[in-house]
């Protein structure tokens, strides 16, 4: 596919890198020659310097022949104008990054009136991910499939966990809960396990289950969910606004510490039910004064990765509650994993994942198996994909044990007419099913790709 990415910042570069790796013909547009030079030197892409909303620049980049134009600059208005212009001159599909909360209310109108295929708000998506984790604070991460019927949950096995030393083949026999462990991170090693795999302390396991089975499993292994009632947030940016709004609707008490007076005034007007503290949230005195030791959840959402990491490490020593950090640079992940911080969110990777899912879905015919959902786990080393099974798929009608699937791949869940199935070797895939596949490969673009 011919893809044009407008904006070579954090999100744009991440998108360009991943689209290039997947074999797409990518052209990058940006005003900054240094950023473009880095993209051209490191990635296999073309570059055009200029304003991505300019008709001449879009034509120079070949937008009239593009399968997809993605506008990911720092300006919502430029992104929208670029998509509208690209669509008018012949681009097949367009995606706009829109961050302003006032514009997000008009997403339906924007898509309908201007032909924009997809509008994505990275901060709102990150807030939604944090909100999901706060529902089950014992989990490090929770993703969902099939409109919430299936959850993909990450937990860490502690030294006292009853799962320590347990072969996966014994999991159901011991707990009588329908969960399937689909990936395990052990140090730097990532494993798609089989029944003979034995869990160890320190493992980070990812399992799929229906939501009710997730809660039953947590209770069975001594991770009974405690309800989050109070949340302390440091940083008053867009993610904080979206997250606070979601949490207030769940009747949680929300306190935000922000150093900028104008931002505090704005948050006070937008979030009258939240408590807004104007001060430096990186100081120990203020954090103790505002109750970090007694909060049920602490969320570090400043604009600086290093601050968020240090704040989260400090919070982990001061509170028994849930600790979450926003971090965009994946190079910090090893530090974070070893520091004891359980949950990390990255807006740019959330955005990239959603767009990559859309791009892969464009490549598939309706007669085959279309991708519905895509989540990346284990520091983006593993993909969990949900497919809607089409008429011509080659995986239907055969017991799973008879399918010659690729290595390092697991069929995790089948959803059929609203019922969630944790599959065994004798189960079959049928037309119309939703099937969740977990794999270390980045080459699974339709369900038939799971076969050798």
Tens digit of each residue's pLDDT (9 = 90 or more) over 249-300: 999 999 999 999 999 999 999 999 999 999 999 999 999 999 999 999 999 9
Q: Are residues 111 and 131 in the same domain?
A: no
Looking at per-residue pLDDT, the higher value among 276 and 98 belongs to 276
147 shares its domain with 83: no
> CB within 8 A of 445, min separation 6: which ones?
360, 363, 364, 371
pLDDT on residue 225? 66
pLDDT at 168 over 90: yes
Nearest Cα to Cα of residue 211 among 147, 266, 117: 147
Q: Which residue has the higher pLDDT, 363 or 72?
A: 72
Question: What's the average model confidence in pLDDT over 364-372?
Answer: 63
Question: Whole-model pTM?
Answer: 0.85
Is the residue at 351 inside a domain?
A: no
The whole-number average pLDDT for the span 393-405 is 93
Question: What percentage of residues in the chain have a pLDDT greater than 90?
Answer: 74
Domain annotation covers residue 385: yes
Q: Is the separation of the CB atoms in 244 and 233 below 8 Å?
A: yes
Rounded Cα–Cα distance for residues 60 and 47 (Å): 10
User: What sign has the CA pseudo-torsion 202, 208, 209, 214?
Assistant: positive
Same domain, 23 and 102: yes
* Beta-sheet strand order (sheet of 343-345): 275-278, 253-258, 230-234, 297-300, 322-326, 343-345
In a domain, 353, yes or no: no
| Residue 375, token pair as written in the block | 């989540």
Here the CATH number for the domain that contains residue 245 is 3.40.50.720
Query: What local confidence, expressed as pLDDT, does residue 183 receive?
Result: 96
**Cβ 232 vs Cβ 257: under 8 Å:** yes
Q: 338 and 242 in one domain?
A: yes
Kindly report which listed range (73-82, 114-123, 170-179, 336-345) carries the lowest average pLDDT score.
Answer: 336-345
Which of 345, 374, 404 represents a domain boundary (last residue)? 345
**Across 45-73, average pLDDT:** 96
Mean pLDDT of 47-68: 96
429 occurs within a structural domain: yes
Q: Which residue, 443, 293, 308, 344, is CA-closest to 126?
A: 344
Whether residue 104 is predicted with pLDDT greater than 80 in this model: the reply is no
The 10 Å Cβ neighbour count of residue 274 is 22
Residues 6+ apart with CB under 8 A from 111: 117, 118, 119
Verify that 115 and 135 share a domain, yes or no: no
pLDDT at 368 (0 to 100): 58
Residue 129 confidence (pLDDT) above 80: yes
131: pLDDT strictly greater than 90: yes
Structural domain contains residue 354: no
Give φ, ψ of 219 to 5 degrees: -65, -40
- Greatest extent of the chain over all pairs of C-alpha atoms, in Å: 66
- The answer to whether residues 135 and 107 belong to one domain is no
Predicted pLDDT of residue 371: 84
Residues 446 and 382 in one domain: yes
Residue 407: which domain range? 362-450
Asked whether residue 225 is domain-assigned, the answer is no
Cβ–Cβ under 8 Å, residues 343 and 325? yes
Using alpha carbons, list the distances in angstroms from residue 130 to 133, 243, 283, 293, 337: 5, 8, 24, 20, 18
Structurally, the chain folds into a number of domains equal to: 4
Contact indicator for 403, 208 with CB cutoff of 8 Å? no
CATH at 137? 3.30.70.1450
What is the torsional sign of CA 17, 18, 23, 27?
A: negative
Same domain, yes or no: 237 and 341: yes
- The residues pairing with 411 across neighbouring beta strands, listed in sequence order, are 437
Q: What is the pLDDT of residues 221-243, one digit of tens each?
A: 998 767 899 999 999 999 999 99
| β-bridge pairing 322-326 and 343-345 | parallel
Tell me, what's the pLDDT at 108?
Answer: 76
Indicate the range of 45-54, 304-313, 331-340 predicted with least confidence. Answer: 331-340
Among 120, 149, 172, the domain boundary falls at 120
The predicted structure's pLDDT at residue 366: 44
What's the whole-number average pLDDT of the chain? 91
Residue 332 has pLDDT above 80, yes or no: no
The two tokens of residue 41 are: 């030197």
Pick the last residue of a domain from 88, 103, 120: 120
- Kindly state whether residues 112 and 135 are assigned to the same domain: no
Whether 336 is in a domain gets the answer yes
pLDDT at residue 369 is higher than 70: no
Residue 140, token pair as written in the block: 């490090």
Domain shared by 202 and 272, yes or no? no
More confident residue, 372 or 58: 58
Q: CA–CA separation, 137 vs 130, rounded Å?
A: 10
Domain-located, residue 185:
yes
Q: With bands split at pLDDT 50, 70 and 90, how would you rate the model's confidence at 367?
A: very low
Give per-residue pLDDT as tens, 386-395.
999 988 889 9
Task: Give a three-class secondary structure readout of the chain.
Answer: CEEEEECCCHHHHHHHHHHHHCCCEEEEEECCHHHHHHHHHHCCCEEEECCCCCHHHHHHHCHHHCCEEEECCCCHHHHHHHHHHHHHCCCCEEEEECCCHHHHCCHHHHHHHHCCCEEECHHHHHHHHHHHHHHCCCCCEEEEEHHHCEEEEEEECCCCCCCCCCEHHHHHHHHCCCCEEEEEEECCEEECCCCCCECCCCCEEEEEECHHHHHHHHHHCCCCCCCCCEEEEECCCHHHHHHHHHHHHCCCEEEEEECCHHHHHHHHHHCCCCEEEECCCCCHHHHHHCCCCCCCEEEECCCCHHHHHHHHHHHHHHCCCEEEEECCCHHHHHHHHHHCCCEEECHHHHHHHHHHHHHHHHHCCCCCCEEEEEEEECCCCEEEEEEECCCCCCCECCEHHHCCECCCEEEEEEEECCEEECCCCCCEECCCCEEEEEECCCCCCCHHHHEC
Q: Are residues 95 and 142 in the same domain?
A: no
pLDDT digits (tens, 9 = 90+) for 433-444: 999 999 998 888
How much is the pLDDT for 25?
Answer: 95
Question: 404 and 443: one domain?
Answer: yes
């Amino acid at each position: 596919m011919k893809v044009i990415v407008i904006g070579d910042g954090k999100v744009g570069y991440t998108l360009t890198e991943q689209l290039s790796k997947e074999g797409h013909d990518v052209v990058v547009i940006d005003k900054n020659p240094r950023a473009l030079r880095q993209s051209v030197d490191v990635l296999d892409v073309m570059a055009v310097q200029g304003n991505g909303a300019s008709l001449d620049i879009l034509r120079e980049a070949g937008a009239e022949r593009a399968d997809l134009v993605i506008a990911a600059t720092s300006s919502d208005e430029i992104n929208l104008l670029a998509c509208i212009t690209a669509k008018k001159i012949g681009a097949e599909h367009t995606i706009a990054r829109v961050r302003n909360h006032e514009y997000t209310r008009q997403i339906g109108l924007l898509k309908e009136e201007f032909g924009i295929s997809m509008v994505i708000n990275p901060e709102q998506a990150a807030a939604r991910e944090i909100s999901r984790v706060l529902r089950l604070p014992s989990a490090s991460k929770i993703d969902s499939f099939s409109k919430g019927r299936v959850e993909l949950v990450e937990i860490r096995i502690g030294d006292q966990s009853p799962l320590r030393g347990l072969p996966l083949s014994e999991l159901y026999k011991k707990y009588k809960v329908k969960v399937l462990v689909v990936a395990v991170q052990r140090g730097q090693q990532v494993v798609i396990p089989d029944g003979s795999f034995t869990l160890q302390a320190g493992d980070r396991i990812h399992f799929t289950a229906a939501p009710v089975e997730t809660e039953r499993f947590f209770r069975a292994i001594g991770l009974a969910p405690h309800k989050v009632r109070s949340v302390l947030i440091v940083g008053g940016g867009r993610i904080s606004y979206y997250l606070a709004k979601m949490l207030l609707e769940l009747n949680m008490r929300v306190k935000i510490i922000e150093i900028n007076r104008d931002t505090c005034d704005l948050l006070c007007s937008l979030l009258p039910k939240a408590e807004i503290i104007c001060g430096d949230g990186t100081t120990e005195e203020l954090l103790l004064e505002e109750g970090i030791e007694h909060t049920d959840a602490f969320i570090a959402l400043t604009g600086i990765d290093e601050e968020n990491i240090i704040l989260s490490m400090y919070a982990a020593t001061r509170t028994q509650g849930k600790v979450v950090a926003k971090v965009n640079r994946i190079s910090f992940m090893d530090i974070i994993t070893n520091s004891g911080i359980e949950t990390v969110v990255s807006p740019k990777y959330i955005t990239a994942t959603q767009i990559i899912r859309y791009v892969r879905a464009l490549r598939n015919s309706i007669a085959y198996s279309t991708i519905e959902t895509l989540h990346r786990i284990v520091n983006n080393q593993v993909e969990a994909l949900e497919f809607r099974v089409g008429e011509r798929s080659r995986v239907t009608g055969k017991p799973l044990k008879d399918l010659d699937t690729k290595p390092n791949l697991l069929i995790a869940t089948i959803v059929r007419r609203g019922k969630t199935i944790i599959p065994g070797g004798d189960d079959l895939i049928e037309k119309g099913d939703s099937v969740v596949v977990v794999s270390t490969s980045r080459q699974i673009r339709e369900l038939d790709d799971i076969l050798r």
